[in-house]
């Protein structure tokens, strides 16, 4: 009986020492560090990342998940690098800069296109600003183009439309569209 107890004890000690070796394997993710989050929680980021501590370290998978994070459209900048951890595994370090949140949109008053005209045109083209969501430069570019088209239809082919992004706070922005009709084109 004593021999069986000693054998079990020896097997347990051996299993525990091997489990620490397994955690320290160079091919595993030892830790994930995220720096720079302000609105998003670390838990939400880790869920979106879909790589966990203990997973095998695969640079191709890290690149794939990096692209998936970028495609969320809520980050202005993402950098990631891998370091060797204290136990010999890989530590992934993410440095994040979230896009600022859009707080307001305004249009410069002019005699050619009123705010209502502009908003109606945007509704026709199903272009929406989402206040409280991350600032989307693509939407701003599309709105500038839609306003120029509206101005051209009214005979102002040389109209200029320029979006000015104003910093409200460190994490919020307001957009003001400066509209200069120019001269009316006559044929």
pLDDT averaged over the chain? 85
Using one digit for the tens of pLDDT, what is the confidence trace for 76-132? Answer: 999 999 999 999 999 999 999 999 999 999 999 888 888 999 999 999 999 998 899
Segment holding 101, helix H or strand E: strand 101-107
Task: Give the model's pLDDT for residue 27.
Answer: 85
CA distance 4 to 151: 91
Yes or no: say if 101 and 93 are a contact pair by the CB < 8 Å rule. no
Confidence of residue 16 (pLDDT cuts 50, 70, 90): very low
Task: Give the model's pLDDT for residue 1.
Answer: 47
Confidence of residue 22 (pLDDT cuts 50, 70, 90): very low
Tell whether the model's pLDDT for residue 24 goes beyond 50: no
Q: What is the DSSP letter of 141?
A: H
Tell whether the model's pLDDT for residue 36 goes beyond 60: yes
Helix H, strand E, coil C: the string for 21-34 is HHHCCCCEEEEEEE
Segment 135-156 mean pLDDT:
93
Segment 60-65 mean pLDDT:
95
Q: Sort residue 83 into left (φ over 0), alpha (ψ -120 to 50) or beta.
A: beta
Task: Give the model's pLDDT for residue 127.
Answer: 92
Segment 33-44 mean pLDDT:
93
Alpha-carbon distances, residue 40 vs 35, 75, 96, 111 (angstroms): 11, 10, 10, 42
CA distance 174 to 59: 38
């Amino acid at each position: 009986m004593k021999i069986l107890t000693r054998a079990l004890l020896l097997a347990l000690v051996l299993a525990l020492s091997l489990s620490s070796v397994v955690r320290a394997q160079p091919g595993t993710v030892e830790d994930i560090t995220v720096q720079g989050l302000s609105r998003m929680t670390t838990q939400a980021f880790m869920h979106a990342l879909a790589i966990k501590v203990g997973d095998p370290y695969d640079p191709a998978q890290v690149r794939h998940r990096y692209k998936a994070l970028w495609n969320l459209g809520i980050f202005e900048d993402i950098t990631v690098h891998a370091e060797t951890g204290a136990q010999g595994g890989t530590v992934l370090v993410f440095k994040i800069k979230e896009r600022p949140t859009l707080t307001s949109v305004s249009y410069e008053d002019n005699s050619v296109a009123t705010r209502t005209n502009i908003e109606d045109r945007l509704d026709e083209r199903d272009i929406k600003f989402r206040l409280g969501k991350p600032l989307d430069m693509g939407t701003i570019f599309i709105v500038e183009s839609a306003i120029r088209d509206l101005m051209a239809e009214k005979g102002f082919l040389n109209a200029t439309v320029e979006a000015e992004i104003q910093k409200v706070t460190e994490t919020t922005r307001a957009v003001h569209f400066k509209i200069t009709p120019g001269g009316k084109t006559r044929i």
